[in-house]
Amino acid sequence: MPEQTITLDVFRYRPDEDERSTIQSYDVPYYEHWVILDALNWIKDHVDGTLSFRWSCRMGVCGSCGMMINGDPKLTCAAFLKDYFPRAIRVEPLVNFPVERDLVIVMDDFMSKLTSVKPWLIRDDTRPMEEELLQSPSQLAAYKQFSMCINCLLCYAACPELDGDPDFLGPAAIALAHRYNLDSRDQGTAERQDILGAEEGVWGCALVGECTAVCPKNVDPAGAIQQAKVAVTKDWYKRLLLPWGKR
Amino acid sequence: MSHLTKTNEAFWWSLFSAGGVMAALFLPVMIFVTGFVLPFMMGEDVESQRDRMVSLVTFWPVRIALFGIIFLSSFHCAHRIRHVLMDFGLRWAGVALMICCYGAAAAGAVAAGLILVRL
C-alpha cells in the first residue's frame, strides 16, 4: 500500500436498509495510474463488499461505469485519481435517473425511449439476408460518427432539458435514430419521424450542447439533434404542402 | 414512450432558424452600412442625408429585404425568449406563452411593414 491516500465520498443508498441516501467516506490508496473505478473496486474488495456499482470493460467501450464525479458526468474508467488528488472526490449516481441502489441507476425509462426510435436497420424490401447491402466510404462517413455511441448515458445526466422535461427523448436516443436515418441501407425514416417530430422528440432540445461536451466518444449528439430538426422540419413542410404525396 | 404529443414546432423552428441567419449575418451588416458607412459617405448635410436614406429605403427591393430581416429576426428573438421562459419553469403556460411571444413578434413585424410601406 502506498503512503499517500485519497478520500472518496461515495453516495450510498440501500433501499432495503436506508430511508434516505447518505454520503460515506473511504480512504483509498493513491496511485497515479489508478482511475476512480479502480478505487471503487478496491473499496468493494477490501473495505465494503456491499457497495454497488456497474462496470465491465474498464476501457471506455462498454459504457457501464458512468457516474457523477464532483458533479460532472464521467466514465469512472477514464477519470484518473491524479486529476483530483489531493482533494476528496465525490462519487454519485448519474442525475436525471432514479437510483436503484448506491451508484446503480434505473435505466428502464431510457431503454423504453431507445427502443421507441427503432435503432436498427429497417428494410421494406424482401431481399434475401445473404445478399450484401454495399456502402460507399462516403455513405459510411455520413453516419459513422453517430454510430460510436456506447449508451453510457452521460449525455442524459448532462442535459438540463431532461431535468425540466423527463419525457424528452434525450440526446443518445435521438442521435441513434438519426444515425439509422442517415444510413443508406435503412428505409425506416418514416417510421421514426412521428416520434422524432413529436413534442417529446427533437423539439425538447434547446441546443445547450452539454451532451456533446460530456460525450466520451465524440458522438456530438447536439449536432445530430440539430440535423434531425432540419430533417423533421422538411418533412413537416412536405406534409403540409404535399399532403397527398409519399413521405 | 407511452405517449407522443403532436406539435407544429417545426414551423416556429423554421422561422427561428431563418431568423438566426438574418440576425447573425445580415442584421449587423445592415446596421453597419445604414448606421455608419452611408451617413459618413453622404456628407454632413442632415437634410440631404435623410432624403437619400428615404429614397434608398423606398426602393422596393430594399423595402422587401428590410421587412424580411426585421420579420425573421423578430421571430428568432420571440422563439428564443419563449424557450428561455419555458426553461425558467413556465412550461405549463404553453399556448399563452406562444401567443405572447409570437404575438409580440407578429405585431412588431406588422408595425415595421406599415412603416416601410408608408415611407
- The pLDDT assigned to B53 comes to 84
Any CB–CB contact under 8 A between A48 and chain B?
Answer: no
- pLDDT, average across residues B34-42: 84
Own/partner pairs for A143-148, CB < 8 Å, 24+ apart?
A143/A178, A143/A179, A143/A180, A143/A182, A143/A183, A145/A218, A145/A219, A145/A220, A146/A175, A146/A176, A146/A178, A146/A179, A146/A182, A146/A219, A146/A220, A146/A224, A147/A179, A148/A217, A148/A218, A148/A219
Nearest Cα neighbor of A158 from A90, A67, A219 is A67
Chain A contact probe: residue of B1, B5, B79, B87 with most A CBs at under 10 A: B1
Q: Where in chain A is the domain with CATH 1.10.1060.10?
A: 108-241
Measured in angstroms, the CA of B71 and the nearest CA of chain A are apart by 20
Residue span(s) of chain A under CATH 3.10.20.30 come to 5-105
Q: Is the CB of residue A226 less than 8 Å away from at least one CB of chain B?
A: no
Query: Does the reported pTM lie above 0.90?
Result: no
Q: DSSP for B40-69, please give it.
A: HHT-S-HHHHHHHHHHHHTSHHHHHHHHHH
Interface residue A184 vs chain B (CB under 8 A): no
Cα separation of B118 and B116, whole Å? Answer: 6
Of A113, A164, A229, the CB nearest to B1: A113
The pLDDT profile of chain A, 247 residues, written as one tens digit per residue, is 678 999 999 999 999 998 899 999 999 999 999 999 999 999 999 999 999 999 999 999 999 999 999 999 999 999 999 999 999 999 999 999 999 999 999 999 999 999 999 999 998 877 777 778 899 999 999 999 999 999 999 999 999 999 888 999 999 999 999 999 999 999 999 999 999 999 999 999 989 999 999 999 999 999 999 999 999 999 999 989 988 765 5
**Using a CB-CB distance cutoff of 8 angstroms, which residues of chain B are in contact with residue A113?**
1
Domain definitions of chain B by residue range: 12-118
Structural class in CATH, domain A5-105: alpha beta
**Predicted pLDDT at B36:** 87
Q: What is the predicted pLDDT for the residue at A104?
A: 98
What cell was used for B111?
Answer: 408595425
Q: What is the largest CA-CA distance in chain B?
A: 69
Instruction: Give the Cα separation of A81 and B22 in Å (integer).
Output: 47
Q: What is the pLDDT of residues B65-103, one digit of tens each?
A: 999 999 999 999 999 999 999 888 888 888 999 999 999
**Probe site for chain B from A168, A203, A205, A227 (most B CB atoms < 10 A):** A203
Taking the CA of residue B33 and the nearest CA in chain A, the distance in Å comes to 31
Q: Do A200 and B4 touch (CB under 8 A)?
A: yes
Partner-chain residue, chosen from B8, B11, B91, that has the shortest CB–CB distance to A164:
B91
Q: How confident is the model at residue B33 (pLDDT cuts 50, 70, 90)?
A: confident
Residues of chain B whose beta carbon is less than 8 angstroms from a beta carbon of chain A are 1-11, 13-14, 17, 83, 86-87, 89, 91
Q: Which of B3, B10, B87 lies closest to A236 in CB terms? A: B10
Contact between A223 and A212 (Cβ < 8 Å): yes
Does the beta-carbon distance from A233 to B10 stay under 8 Å? Answer: yes
Mean local confidence (pLDDT), B20-27: 93
Task: Give percent of chain B with pLDDT exceeding 90.
Answer: 59
State the Cα–Cα distance between residues B89 and A69, nearest whole angstrom: 27
Cell 473495505: give the residue.
Answer: A47
To 5 degrees, how large is the angle CA A230–CA B95–CA B103?
A: 80
Q: What is the pLDDT of residue A54?
A: 97
Across the A/B interface, how many CB contacts are shorter than 8 Å? 54
Q: What is the largest CA-CA distance in chain A?
A: 75
Residues of A within 8 A of B7 (CB-CB) are: 197-199, 203
Q: What is the mean pLDDT of chain B?
A: 90
Q: Which pLDDT belongs to residue B67? A: 94
What is the DSSP secondary structure assignment for residue B27, as one 8-state letter?
H
pLDDT score at A1 = 64
* 3-state class percentages of chain B: helix first, strand second, coil last, to nearest 5: 85, 0, 15
Domain B12-118 coded CATH 1.20.1300.10: yes
Residue of A nearest to B17 (CA): A230
**Nearest residue in B to A162, CA atom:** B87
**Is the model's pLDDT at B3 over the cut of 90?**
no
Q: Is A112 on the interface with B (CB under 8 A)?
A: yes
Q: Which of A116, A197, A237 sits opposite B1 (nearest CB)?
A: A116
Kind and range of the H or E run holding A67: strand A66-69
CATH number belonging to the domain at A108-241, selected among 2.60.40.290, 1.10.1060.10, 3.30.230.10, 3.40.50.720: 1.10.1060.10
Asked if residue B43 has pLDDT above 80, the reply is: no
Residue A199, chain B, CB below 8 Å: the answer is: yes
Residues 6 or more apart whose CB falls under 8 angstroms from that of B56 comprise: B38, B62
